[in-house]
Structure 1
Amino acid sequence: MKSPGQLSKIFKIREDIPSKWYWAGAIVTFVLILLIWDLVCRLSLIQSIFLPSPEFVFTTFIQLISTGSYWNDIGISIYRVFMGFLLAAVIGVPLGILAGTFKLSDSIIIPLSEFIRYMPAPAFIPLVMVWAGIGETAKILIIFIGSFFQLVIMVADDTRAVNKDLIYAAYTLGAKRWNTLIKVIVPALMPRLFITLRLIMGWAWTYLVVAELVAADSGLGYSIMKAQRFMNTNIIFVGILVIGLLGLIIDRLFVLLGRVLFPWSGGDR
């Protein structure tokens, strides 16, 4: 049995706790939400057409994943998210590093990014359809637009967070400007950059349904919107839960990869 002193340590600000306590808290939270959901349905507090029971959603999930078409929806959605994310990362990371390193680059890149990031991605759909048509490129561009400007600003902040003492030490040892950038600043920001990319991947998933509004005939977002027309809320719930599950799996893979690549940084759970 835990002593009062041990229990109080669990509630200390930013204090580490045993992994078993952490995972117990996570599991209990999910189970509690599931039980409340089930209880609401059993007591008929909300009509089933608006809130299907967990059993009905699970049955629908099993039925859907047993069909090849739903796996195709999952595959095409993963492709769109990853392509939009990769495009944002390939362009946004270098721009963010430049903005965080040189004030002139900051003045050119950051104010524009700050301005555009407040524009809702769905507002760009008509323009994207004019510029890129209604094919895969348009859907990837919507995810790119939703992720890119946030990424640039966050990478710039990560770059500014690099300790200036490292830069001064490099200059003292005779390093030139670009050598300092490539061999000191970039390696020093990598753990923070990896966390930023993990967060941006989460945002990319949130723009999936928006992207699949662009004349889609496949994908998880499309299946959700199609189910909404016929009030098939069970299929809507399955789509939402599958997107959440895929996002969680990818997030955990980011965490594991971060621990392998940057073991000295402490990593996240």
Structure 2
Amino acid sequence: MKTIVQQELKSKPLEKKLPFKFYWKKILKTGIITWIGLLVIWTVAAHFSDPQFLPSPLATLRGAFELGSDGSLFIYMAYSLVRVLIGWFLGNIVAIPLGLFIGSNKTIRLLVEPVINFVRFIPPLAFITLFMLWFGIGEQSKIFLIMYATFFVVTINTLTGVLSISEDKIRSANSMGASDFQVLRYVIIPAATPYIFTGAKLAMGSSFMAIIGAEMVAANEGVGFMIWNARLYFQTDWIFVGLVVLGLMGFSMDRLFALAGRKFLKRYNIVS
């Protein structure tokens, strides 16, 4: 009897602690503590710095209100976001089939892979002047630049996914009478999907880097143009607004894409 009562008394304090641990883990998972810590460090560093050198979070917020009061901030965000989405989407449409084709054909892979590994090390920003010359200073040059930034990341990840498939799986499908198209559809694509998904996610970061560079050089709208234009008036707070906005845009796209992957590609072990 004593042992039962002792066990009940011991279990009660543990029951009280469980909710706290549960909520603490929930708070940690949100990352809010990290964000608060970064804001505190930023505030302290700005306090001991020249406002023109490092504006405080409050000064950056005031700059955001200034830019947003006439709607210019939201217009710049919309221009950049549309360019990134179009270029990223078109880059994926081209890169995924090509990566599957190159990975599935050994002869083509031997011919093309050295060229891909050579060109992919040339950064997109190095092509800005050429793309302006070839496609003009309008939207085409910016979209093609984002396509370039997306293409190699997605192609290489798709190619890696195809090469990671065991030969035994392909032989087994062939031995059961599967055609080349059926092998591609039911063996290669499902196995390579996690790699394709990862490549598309990584390409988002490359797309934002490419569009900001392009907008700084040849644009009259967009977040990159806003950041570049702010330097003329030495508006450091506007520059920080642009940096924060880019981070928020990229983070939101990444989270939405990850959510869509978990929802619609769960069967392919998409867990990011």
For 1:80, give the aligned amino acid: R
Shift of 1:260: 0.8
Give yes or no for contact 1:88–1:147 (8 Å, CA) kept in 2: yes
Structure 2 runs not aligned, ≥5 long: 1-12, 15-23
2:10 is matched with none
1:32 aligns with 2:55: no
| CA distance in structure 2 between the aligned counterparts of 1:265 and 1:149, rounded to whole angstroms | 23
1:250 aligns with 2:253: yes
For 1:67, give the aligned amino acid: D
2:26 is matched with 20
| CA distance in structure 1 between the aligned counterparts of 2:233 and 2:186, rounded to whole angstroms | 57
2:3 is matched with none
1:106 is matched with 109
Shift of 1:31: 1.2
For 1:27, give the aligned amino acid: I
Alignment of 1:138-153 (within 5 A): 138-153=141-156
Shift of 1:86: 1.4
| CA distance in structure 2 between the aligned counterparts of 1:265 and 1:186, rounded to whole angstroms | 10
Alignment of 1:80-229 (within 5 A): 80-229=83-232
Shift of 1:76: 0.8
Shift of 1:21: 6.4
For 2:29, give the aligned amino acid: W
SS at 2:216 equivalent: coil
| CA distance in structure 2 between the aligned counterparts of 1:242 and 1:34, rounded to whole angstroms | 16
For 1:32, give the aligned amino acid: G
Give yes or no for contact 2:157–2:195 (8 Å, CA) kept in 1: no
CA distances 1:139-183 after superposition (whole Å, capped 9, x unpaired):
111222222122211210012123333322211210022221123
Runs of 4+ in 1 over 6 A off after TM superposition: none
Select the structure of larger CA radius of gyration.
Answer: 2
Within the candidate set 41, 60, 76, 1:73 is matched to 76
Within the candidate set 63, 71, 75, 2:66 is matched to 63
Q: Which moved more, 1:49-58 or 1:144-153?
A: 144-153
Give yes or no for contact 1:50–1:233 (8 Å, CA) kept in 2: yes
2:7 is matched with none
- % identical equivalent positions: 34
2:18 is matched with none
Shift of 1:242: 0.4
Aligned residues: 251
Q: Which moved more, 1:255-264 or 1:133-142?
A: 255-264
